[in-house]
Chain A
Amino acid sequence: MSLVEAPAQRSRLGSSADRVGLAALLIATACLVAIGGKWVSGPLTSVVVLVLLAVIVGVIVLAWRGGTEARRLLAPYGLLKPGMLWLGLFFLAPLWSLLRISLSTKESRFDINYNFSWAFENYQTAFTEFGGQFSRAFLYAGIATVLTILIGYPLAYVIAFRGGKYKNVLLGLVVVPFFTSYLIRTIAWSTILSDEGVVVSFVKGLGLVPVLEALQIMDNGRLLNTPAAVIGGLTYNFLPFMLLPIYVSLEKIDIGLVNAANDLYSTNSAAFRKVVFPLSMPGVFAGTLLTFIPAAGDFVNAQFLGNPNTTMIGNSIQDQFLRQNNYPVASAMAAVLMVSIAALVLLYTRLFGTEDLA
């Protein structure tokens, strides 16, 4: 064998390893989805389990016998496998079930069996009966996201550029609330905002109730169980998810760039506008996704801080699933929520995508 042929040899080995690795990955994942999504039943299930095991063992044996080069080429697929299989069983299979149930019907509310019947009327129900909850979810999540930017950005800025030796302490303080459960923190807010609570009596003492009512923050002298309380709870709970990515992107900015902008006839505020803010956009972008997506599907804040007129789509989905036992409509709502969030995120990425940033 001449030396010239060697690279071709290796690339042939490489492409066949790629084919084997990828095929094994896909077959194994498909097997898991088939089991999890109940595509197969009875004796066929054990056949699929056997195929799954055979594929995994087969690849391991291939790597074992194939020598160093084969192991090196197959390793990436091996490393992908745990994650892919996990997602296959616990994301793809449930997603499949969800979509299937969303197109199914039940004989009666108390029936436990579904009949798959291309029942698109579930989606119609989701839109017509829960349109308000959908738009409220996106509105509240949107306002909360804007508020987390307005609160989180200056805070991140101060920690990143003025934190000095207290940087880590300040970041620690931001994260400290996470040591308490999400639910407990939200319930704590319902105590703080309650009618007999400290905030309301303070506001009453200052005579600010009419002002806050005019601003639609208070309702009938109450803070709790208002839209403002729900939005406030969302803002509070998701603030760190906005702050931390913004902090990371600000922290990376070389202070020399601000000096350079100053040197080139820009005042500090112009330097912020033209240099610091654009360079921190990736953080704002990531923070927006991390805040908006979970906030839009949230049901905890609306449940503990809201009233029947502030329910968000998360509450309705939970209600349909767990109380009404109406899986088909609940599934349809969950599917709509997923698709619309995905569409919004795609649109947002198109408009403000930051991949051309250095």
Chain B
Amino acid sequence: MQEVIKLEGVSKRYGDFVALHETSFSIGHGEFFAMLGPSGCGKTTTLKMIAGFEQPTTGKVLLDGADVSDVPPYRRNVNTVFQQYALFPHMSVFDNVAFGPRSKKKDESQVRKDVMEMLEIVRLADFAQRKPSQLSGGQQQRVALARALVNYPSALLLDEPLAALDLKLREAMQIELKRIQREVEISFIFVTHDQHEALTMSDRIAVMSAGHVEQIGTPEEIYRNPSSLFVAGFIGSANLLAGTVESSSGTEYVVALKSGAKVKVQHHGSTFSTGEKVSLMLRPEALNPVAGSRGDGLSLGGTLTDRVYEGATDRLVVRLTDGTEVVCLTDSDAHVAHKVVGDSVTINWQPQAGYLLAGWPEVSGSTTTNVDQIEAAL
């Protein structure tokens, strides 16, 4: 794949504060690339360095193979959709979109044609003469998109573009963004703290934390094979149980959990030695609550402490014997439907559902029930 953007050992410091540690990655032509992480993880700083609003402290930013590290934003062939859209309030929608082409001193008849074509693509051709203040949030969003895309940049940078929208509108705009991206075939680099958004839209995701890129991969890779506890907890919901490797043979591990229970794990990829501290990751949807105990190393006993009806699924909170709370997602008509809060249940899973990560989590159990932890990650 042809590289549009390449970061080579890029880092950014503000005085003593390191906003981004040395980072290298590249983004291909026509790729939908998300930078995902909690606030302060360095994702926006990275975006600003690609746009040219910040200069890297070390390293190089390459755009279409050329070093643009010292090129000001107005001479870089990338455009940005800003978080609050930053539409020019004194100009009509048409003039907003025409701003870029006119700055490039394009012929006015060509400008007219390009702008109307782009407004057609974002379905706002009828609103060309309106002022931004007369548009709804979703419409303003699309104007911002058209204003950037009309320049046909090498890459489009989007800084939390959907953050200001309501949930339903946000979901509709996710689909709309994907459609537009396919239509214009431009690389989209998308900054978000919403893991759901990143999972549903991106070709690849870079998960960032505290100025580091933790993992880059397709949504599926990141969801199934997270490289660290942080990634496991940040992407989707996970149950993380602390334990120690007791024995291993090939890809088969026996892990002694802190509670004393022993579980079997089939783990591919990285290897762990006996005695190493590990965390067992179990995704909520891979857990089946059943009535009786199985004792085959693929189940844990506990008490049902909460059940939330979510339409298609039931969310069950099970407190294991050592007090750790895990979350299971099951079909509403599962065979534990008659269980009520306080009943004892057993959760079991398929051999390949377990996944091992190095180290112990700060708090064992589900990453979606600890409010403090979730707030800290936002």
Q: Please give the residue numbers on chain A whose beta carbons come within 8 Å of chain B beta carbons, in ascending order.
A: 254, 256-257, 259-267, 270, 274-275, 278-279, 357-358
Nearest to A354 among chain B residues (CB) is: B90
B contact residues, range: 20 to 34
Q: A interface, by DSSP: helix, strand, loop or mixed? A: helix
Q: Is B288 at the interface (CB under 8 A from chain A)?
A: no
Nearest to B79 among chain A residues (CB) is: A263
Contact of B75 among A260, A265, A279, A358 (CB under 8 A): A265
Query: Shortest CB–CB separation between residue B44 and chain A, in angstroms?
Result: 12
Q: Across the interface, which residues of A come within 8 angstroms of B131, CB to CB?
A: 358
Assess whether A264 is in contact with B79, with CB atoms less than 8 Å apart: yes
Nearest to B104 among chain A residues (CB) is: A265
Assess whether B88 is in contact with A257, with CB atoms less than 8 Å apart: yes
Query: Shortest CB–CB separation between residue A354 and chain B, in angstroms?
Result: 9
Contact of A279 among B86, B90, B103 (CB under 8 A): B90
With A357-B90, A358-B133: A260-B103 Cβ-Cβ less than 8 Å: no
Assess whether A358 is in contact with B151, with CB atoms less than 8 Å apart: no
Assess whether A260 is in contact with B80, with CB atoms less than 8 Å apart: yes
Q: Across the interface, which residues of A come within 8 angstroms of B82, CB to CB?
A: 256, 259-260
Q: Considering the complex of A and B, which 9 residue pairs feature the smallest CB-CB distances, nearest first?
A: A358-B89, A265-B103, A264-B100, A260-B86, A256-B86, A262-B73, A358-B133, A263-B80, A266-B103
With A256-B86, A257-B88: A264-B147 Cβ-Cβ less than 8 Å: yes
Q: Across the interface, which residues of B come within 8 angstroms of A264, CB to CB?
A: 74, 79, 99-100, 103, 147-148, 151
Q: How far is the CA of A285 from the CA of B79 in the complex (A)?
A: 34
Can you offer 10 A-B residue contacts whose CB atoms are under 8 A? A256-B84, A259-B86, A260-B88, A261-B88, A263-B74, A263-B148, A264-B148, A265-B100, A275-B88, A279-B89
Contact of A358 among B51, B73, B86, B90 (CB under 8 A): B90
Q: Across the interface, which residues of B come within 8 angstroms of A279, CB to CB?
A: 89-90
Q: Is B25 at the interface (CB under 8 A from chain A)?
A: no
Q: Across the interface, which residues of A come within 8 angstroms of B147, CB to CB?
A: 264
Near A by CB (< 8 A), chain B positions 74-109 give: 74-75, 79-80, 82, 84, 86-90, 99-100, 103-104
Q: How far is the CA of A145 from the CA of B375 in the complex (A)?
A: 54
Query: Shortest CB–CB separation between residue B152 and chain A, in angstroms?
Result: 12
Q: Across the interface, which residues of A come within 8 angstroms of B65, CB to CB?
A: none
Q: Is B72 at the interface (CB under 8 A from chain A)?
A: yes
Q: A261-B88, A357-B89 are in contact. List 10 more A-B contacts (CB 8 A).
A: A256-B86, A260-B86, A260-B87, A261-B99, A261-B103, A265-B75, A265-B100, A267-B72, A275-B90, A358-B90
Nearest to A267 among chain B residues (CB) is: B74
Counting chain A CB atoms within 10 Å of each CB, the highest count among B52, B79, B99, B133 belongs to: B99
Q: Is B132 at the interface (CB under 8 A from chain A)?
A: yes
Assess whether A263 is in contact with B133, with CB atoms less than 8 Å apart: no
Q: Across the interface, which residues of A come within 8 angstroms of B99, CB to CB?
A: 261, 264, 266, 274
Q: How far is the CA of A260 from the CA of B79 in the complex (A)?
A: 9
Interface string of B52-81 (1 = CB under 8 A from A): 110000000000000000001111000110
